[in-house]
């Protein structure tokens, strides 16, 4: 876990800061999967402080989404800037994942 993670009763907010590239993706994957195994039913990934996502980062998000689905949990992504959002759109991940424009909207719509 990280000091950037906010754990609440039924949800956890995981913030992605800087670049989610091949170097950062390992640590992020460990954090994300720790939360998937936790008791919260909703995992919100806040990309607001993130300015770049590589294919390695996309892979981690996909792994997290599959594990969440298998565990009966929801994974919602939020707060992507244009560059990060374009990576998700070009890859087609925006069709497979729940993506909200910002964290406030994600919380309002999903809990």
94 pLDDT above the threshold of 90: yes
Tokens of 55: 């294919």
Please count the helices (runs of H) and the strands (runs of E) in the chain.
5, 7
CB 17 within 8 A of CB 49: yes
Q: Are strands 18-20 and 42-46 parallel, antiparallel or unpaired?
A: unpaired
For residue 52, the cross-strand partners are 19
110 pLDDT above the threshold of 80: yes
Q: Which domains does the chain have, with CATH numbers?
A: 6-101 (3.30.750.24)
pLDDT for the residue numbered 2: 57
Note the pTM of the prediction, 2 decimals.
Answer: 0.94
The DSSP call for residue 111 is -
| Per-residue pLDDT tens over the stretch 65-91 | 999 999 999 999 999 999 999 999 999
Mean pLDDT score of the chain, rounded to an integer?
95
Q: Other C-beta atoms within 10 Å of 17: how many? A: 15
Q: How far apart are CA 73 and CA 34, in angstroms?
A: 13
Alpha helices in 4-81 (DSSP H): 22-36, 55-70
């Amino acid at each position: 876990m990280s000091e950037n993670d906010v754990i609440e009763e039924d949800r956890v907010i995981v913030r992605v800061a800087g670049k989610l590239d091949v170097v950062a993706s390992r640590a992020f994957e460990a954090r994300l999967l720790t939360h998937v195994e936790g008791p919260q039913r909703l995992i919100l990934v806040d990309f607001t402080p993130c300015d770049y996502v590589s294919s390695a980062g996309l892979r981690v998000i996909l792994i997290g989404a599959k594990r969440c689905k298998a565990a009966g949990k929801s994974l919602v992504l939020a707060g992507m800037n244009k560059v990060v959002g374009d990576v998700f759109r070009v890859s087609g991940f925006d069709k497979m994942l729940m993506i909200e424009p910002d964290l406030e909207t994600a919380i309002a719509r999903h809990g």
